[in-house]
Structure 1
Amino acid sequence: MSTSVTATQQATLDALISTLGSDGVLPAGDVAQRQSSWIDPAPLQALALLRPRTTAEVAAALAICHAAHQPVIVYGGGTNLVRATEST
């Protein structure tokens, strides 16, 4: 994944950090250190990984992403046993 971030993406990240706190938003560099699943060592490819702590934070993060037309991919515990979710 390209490390360049557009102005719109940066504004979205800033809004997410403002809402979730810096510990609630992992940047792309940290996300790339995680693998896609336990059977696929390929790094995750994402602008950021969000870690909301409450349902209100989930709703707020999704509203921010929706307003910015930023796609969201759900990522759970990382097992992906049935390969139902892929980040690429």
Structure 2
Amino acid sequence: MPDRPWRVFYTKEALKDREKVIEWGWGEKIRSIGRALRENPYAPPREKLVGELKGAYSKRINRQHRVIYQILEEDRTVKVVSAWSHYE
């Protein structure tokens, strides 16, 4: 029996970011990342973050912007905390 898909949810701030990303024309990219997170949030390409974001991961939307997420293994849930630049 195949593993069930991961549940992905966006924080309030990440939902605002997601709308911004879509407005800027990267809607298909953010949808693609969402599908990838539902399948396997550990799959590359991804970057494990350090510093104040230690324990979180990121996937690139484009050169500047990334989806930042946390993996809640016990709930098989991915919590998207940001979908814009974490450098700003």
Shorter-chain TM band: 0.3 to 0.5
Could you say which structure has the larger radius of gyration? 1
TM-score normalized with structure 1 length: 0.36
TM-score normalized with structure 2 length: 0.36
| Greater RCO, CA 8 A, separation 6+ | 2
- The structure in which a higher percent of residues are strand is 2
